[in-house]
């Protein structure tokens, strides 16, 4: 798998959440992603960027455009050095929300993408990596 392009964008204030969505939309469009898939990816980004800002105290969104020959994709990693997720099992329960986001929670974001990885440790921050493919 080849990384065609990559970068990092801060996610610290409300405007950064908007920019994260806009960046993701452009990357997905450039990959030729179908509108429904692009919309799902941007929706997941809205939730994860907001979580990074609100619960993680701000962080970064690392992005990569991928090409494995048969398909193209966008991989995004949201990382912060916040308090971490104290109860991962609860956070990954359908319907649970701590309030303030889109109400999708992490499980909703997970359902909207094809690849989803979450690494968190109390006091060490959180890293969520997602990807969607053409």
DSSP string, 43-102: HHHHHHHHHHHHTSSSEEEEEEEEE-SS-EEEEEEEEE-SS--S-HHHHTSTT---SSS-
- Residue-range domain boundaries for the chain: 2-133
Pairing label, strands 72-80, 59-67: antiparallel
pTM above 0.85, yes or no: yes
Q: Which two tokens stand for residue 31?
A: 């990959």
pLDDT in tens, 7-33: 999 999 999 999 999 999 999 999 999
pLDDT in tens, 56-76: 999 999 999 999 999 999 999
Q: Is the pLDDT of residue 131 over 90?
A: yes
Q: What is the dihedral of CA 39, 128, 59, 40, to 10 degrees?
A: 0
Neighbours of 61 (CB within 10 A): 24
Reply yes or no on domain 2-133 having CATH 3.40.50.261: no
């Amino acid at each position: 798998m080849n990384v065609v392009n990559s970068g990092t964008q801060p996610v610290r204030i409300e405007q950064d959440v908007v920019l994260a969505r806009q960046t993701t939309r452009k990357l997905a469009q450039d990959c030729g992603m179908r509108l429904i898939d692009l919309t799902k990816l941007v929706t997941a980004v809205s939730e994860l960027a907001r979580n990074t800002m609100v619960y993680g105290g701000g962080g970064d969104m690392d992005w990569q455009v991928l090409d494995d020959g048969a398909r193209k994709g966008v991989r995004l990693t949201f990382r912060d050095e916040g308090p971490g997720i104290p109860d991962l099992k609860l956070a990954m329960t359908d319907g649970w929300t701590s309030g303030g986001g889109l109400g999708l929670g992490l499980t909703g974001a997970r359902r909207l993408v094809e690849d989803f990885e979450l690494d968190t440790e109390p006091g060490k921050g959180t890293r969520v990596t997602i990807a969607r493919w053409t």
